[in-house]
Amino acid sequence: MTLPLRPLGTSGIDISVIGLGAWSFGGDGWRFSWGTQDDAHSVATVHRAVELGVNWIDTAAVYGLGHSEEVVGKALAALPEADRPYVFTKAGLVWDPADPAAAPRRIMRPDSVRREVEDSLRRLGVDVIDLYQVHWPDTGAALNWDGTEPPEDARATELEEYWQVMADLKAEGKVRAIGLSNHGPELLERARRIAPVDAVQPPLSLLNRSAEPEIDWAAAHGTGVIAYQPLHSGLLTGAFTRQRLEELDPSDWRRTHPDFTTDLDANLRTVDRLSTVAREHGTTAGAVAIAWVLARRGVTGAIAGARRPDQTADWERAAHLQLSGDELEFVAGE
């Protein structure tokens, strides 16, 4: 099977329009867990995605506090070298090993970044990371929904300082391309003066369009865009209900997030519109949700998370699904 390919900006890397997101592979025992996860299921999911034509995996050091990268490395090692997908990972969220349940801190000090890249290379079992990304702008603070203040000893590293380190890693051959996740247009413009931004990774779904200025900036500068959470963490698959919420693992971060609790009924009305269009095409709400993201000008590819091989079943249809202008407006509620 094949999925369409698009160039990731000017990086020289052509990626399938759908990539596999490995956040859930981290398992439980950390602040932003999706709950318990069977490593064998994760490895099988990687292999199934590759069979479908997915040629990149997106992970991060912080997912499972290194465990997701280890699992991805295990899955890669079991594949023939010619079949191995590109590996994209992220730095800048640093955890306290003595308190794994604590929120990680946003840290991009040069010494910390260099430590992180070596750790990621080791866990992934690769010589070069294909796309290395800054997870969030450095604040020195905990990443938390409650707006936690940084500790007194925290020092935010200026973007120019950490982007230069990323550029140095690329020049040294440790990474092939460099990108910025969750950085707005002003920060992207500052970064561009230091070194080209090969890719950005913003959130984009029918329920979250806050990063559209970032996507417009990327389109104007020939920068690749890999959109995360096109299915809004499973909410737009068509399978999520209030009953499903109650059945989530107690450690699943979604159990307490407003999108899945106080705002759930409103969000499910968007799913109803997706399901209406999906029936016309003989497909799923999730496939339509991904197709909507892929139709957005400037988007190179979308990251779809999966925990089991069967959760990739509608990806090929999503990658090839062409929605009309009226359908795009309808599902967006316009």
Q: Band the pLDDT of 10: cuts 50, 70, 90.
A: very high
Average the pLDDT over 32-58 and give the result: 96
Q: Are 67 and 27 in contact (CB under 8 A)?
A: yes
pLDDT at 182: 96
Whose tokens are 């069979």? That residue is 51
Task: Specify the pLDDT at position 2.
Answer: 84
CB 198 within 8 A of CB 177: yes
Instruction: Provide the annotated active-site residues.
Output: 63
pLDDT at 146: 43
In this structure, are strands 129-134 and 86-91 parallel, antiparallel, or unpaired?
parallel
What gap in Å lies between CA 206 and CA 230, rounded to an integer?
Answer: 8
Distance CA 286, CA 314 (A): 8
Q: Where are the beta strands (DSSP E) in the chain?
A: 5-7, 14-16, 18-21, 56-58, 86-91, 93-94, 105-106, 129-134, 175-181, 199-201, 224-227, 301-305
Q: What is the dihedral of CA 79, 81, 84, 90, to 10 degrees?
A: 110
Instruction: Give the number of other Cβ atoms within 10 Å of residue 264's Cβ.
Output: 17
**Token pair in block for residue 288:** 């339509």
Average pLDDT over residues 154-177: 94
- Block residue for tokens 């010494």: 111
The string of pLDDT tens digits covering residues 74-99 is 999 999 999 999 999 999 999 998 89
Q: Any bridge partners for residue 86, and if so which?
A: 56
Quick one: average pLDDT of 239-249?
83
Strand partners, 19: 303
Condensed to tens digits (0 to 9), the pLDDT of residues 313-331 reads 999 999 999 999 999 999 9
Question: What's the CA gap between 237 and 271, in Å, rounded?
Answer: 8
The pLDDT value given to residue 243: 85
Rounded Cα gap, residues 210 and 184, in angstroms: 10
Residues ≥6 apart with Cβ < 8 Å to 241? 268
For residue 33, give the 3-state DSSP assignment.
coil
Taking residue 161's Cβ as centre, other Cβ atoms within 10 Å add up to 15
- Tell me the range of 67-81, 129-143, 152-166 where mean pLDDT is highest: 67-81
Q: In the predicted model, is pLDDT for residue 153 greater than 60? A: no
Give the C-alpha separation, 159 to 191, whole Å: 7
DSSP string, 144-159: -TT-PPPPTT--PPPH
Q: Band of the pLDDT at 144, cuts 50, 70, 90? A: very low
- The count of other CB atoms within 10 Å of the CB of residue 250 is 9
DSSP 52-86: HT--EEE--TTTTTTHHHHHHHHHHHTS-GGGPPE
